[in-house]
A and B are shown apart, each in its own frame.
Chain A
């Protein structure tokens, strides 16, 4: 793993305006992503985990310029690419690709599978003519485990897992360097999930890809990730290497997520942490720590003062007042 980050996100913000209901009312914003910074190194898989509404998908969309950011910068290989307002945006766009959550909605139902994959190739110059594109699409289809004959079929003729493979092939068509997988397996059956996760691992080795893997299921995320970033209510709560995320010294929210992983055992789990209530409204995030209202460790201090990301070891940061510095090493 090289130490020069391929993607560097600094203090990225995304606020959505809330529609005014009354004539005179102060402007309100949904704090979907707030002050998120992280670095992504070539060849690694960064897992982003958090429950629904924690801003994971919004973060990915903001980085990819699918929705405009409200502050902060995104750097790709040292170049500022925030919102893709740069001259070589076409080339850069093809290097950062996304695989979507819903395999049923992410394929154009009126386009044949082959031409849907070939189209971005022809536009971004990965293939010069239709013949070459057809050839390359067939190779791609074989690589992701589908028969080349599916070229002339429509998406509705495929199952969810096959559709997700087609979605992967379409993203790979433009030779990306970084793949953002937005809950890419959560719509699939568990058995198919494993197949697709293995496919992701195979492709990573074959094509030297870097992944940002977004999910709400820590069991899936830990299967594929080198590092894990935990988000809650638009903020990064913890960034930890794979082998430190299951340590004692982690964020209380991470601990609760870990205790929610199902284990193949019949013994009762006495220590299971069950969070109460829902994620608070991102329009009025709580003063102090974002997690204070649901935290089992919360002290009066947590309601008053917001903790910073505290580095507890080289690659491990925790946003909690009770993180123990330097104990992990």
Chain B
């Protein structure tokens, strides 16, 4: 009988997964060890709008601050905000989806209606209003993003639950005397991991985008660096349209956002493929 191979074995052989993992790991490491790497960029210096060079690998902005330092500190904020947002939306979205898909009757109907209402709400204007009311701190930004990204997760979880709860092994579990919560949060959730995981990484990616949008609109935390904040400063200084163009100022944070989103999507897809035992070989 052949030896059962581990999750790691299959993961190491998944090219997209490895690229995604390396990208995500780099961003995480950058974010975590940022304080040991570069000084926090604050104040101003005389090196205004320098193009990338040896002393400033990614150039400087209009205040003479190093873009590399800003981007590295920004990674920290972006990671923190998107992780918090994902945890909040997972805590609301997954149980809501499971229950509305599994429980028939008024409880499921009410949750279902809530999901529908939240899905139809225009997200960005509400985020702006809420961020404006609650004040600008990164915790509030994370909370707002989390509170508005759970409905799509709930919907995906619900669809998966509806399909899975009709399967014979769920009936078998009932017959074997397993309790309803156990069936729901173990057997159903275990089989819904694929779509849920992919959706979580998508939320992670879109949280970074939302955070950038909010910061760009001036509703982020002005005292911390995030990729959106850098973009906002570049925008308000007319960096995008001025000539000669300080392209490094706006291009680098934008690229960071793109890389972050792509890496998380690739990682999510790879995990989905590997968690499904049939899709391994």
Contacts and interface: CB of A to CB of B under 8 A. Distances in A.
Interface of A: 64, 66, 90, 93-94, 97-98, 100-102, 105-111, 119-120, 123-124, 147, 149-150, 152-154, 156, 167, 170-171, 173-174
A98 B190 contact: no
12 contacts: A93-B176, A94-B176, A102-B168, A105-B167, A106-B171, A108-B169, A110-B193, A119-B178, A149-B1, A150-B1, A167-B172, A170-B176
A64 B171 CA distance: 11
Among B171, B176, B190, the most chain A Cβ lie within 10 Å of the Cβ of: B176
A147 B1 contact: yes
Contact of A105 (B4, B169, B174): B169
B178 to A, nearest CB: 6
Given A120-B177, A174-B176, A108 B171 contact: no
A153 B1 CA distance: 10
B176 A156 contact: no
Given A106-B168, A153-B4, A123 B178 contact: yes
Interface in B138-196: 167-169, 171-179, 182, 187, 190-191, 193
B190 A110 contact: yes
B244 interface: no
Nearest to A94: B177
B191 A110 contact: yes
Contacts of B277: 109-110, 154, 156
Interface of B, helix, strand, loop or mixed by DSSP: helix
Given A106-B171, A123-B182, 17 more contacts: A64-B175, A66-B174, A66-B175, A97-B175, A98-B172, A98-B175, A100-B172, A105-B167, A106-B169, A108-B173, A108-B187, A119-B178, A120-B176, A120-B178, A149-B1, A154-B277, A170-B172
Contacts, number: 71
Interface of B: 1, 4, 167-169, 171-179, 182, 187, 190-191, 193, 275, 277-278
B221 to A, nearest CB: 41
Nearest to A90: B177
A152 B169 contact: no
Nearest to B171: A66
B105 to A, nearest CB: 13
A102 B168 CA distance: 8
Contacts of B167: 105
Contacts of A170: 172, 176
Contacts of A171: 176
Contacts of B179: 123
Nearest to B3: A152
A100 B190 contact: no
Contacts of A107: 169, 172
A105 B167 CA distance: 6
Contacts of B172: 98, 100, 106-107, 167, 170
A119 B182 CA distance: 11
A152 B191 CA distance: 18
B195 to A, nearest CB: 13
Contacts of A147: 1
Contacts of A109: 169, 191, 277-278
A310 to B, nearest CB: 35
A108 B173 CA distance: 9
Nearest to A100: B168
A111 B176 CA distance: 15
**Which are the 5 A-B pairs with shortest beta-carbon distances?**
A120-B176, A105-B168, A93-B177, A106-B168, A110-B190
A20 B171 CA distance: 27
A97 B190 CA distance: 24
Nearest to B176: A120
Nearest to A96: B175
A100 B175 CA distance: 11
Contacts of B178: 119-120, 123
Contacts of B191: 108-110
Contacts of B1: 147, 149-150
Contacts of B168: 100-102, 105-106
Nearest to B190: A110
Contacts of B176: 93-94, 97, 119-120, 123-124, 170-171, 173-174
Contacts of A167: 172
A123 B4 contact: no
B16 to A, nearest CB: 22
A107 B277 CA distance: 14
Given A110-B193, A156-B277, A156-B278, A93 B187 contact: no
B248 to A, nearest CB: 47
Contacts of B278: 109, 156
Contacts of B190: 108, 110-111
B169 A174 contact: no
A100 B177 contact: no
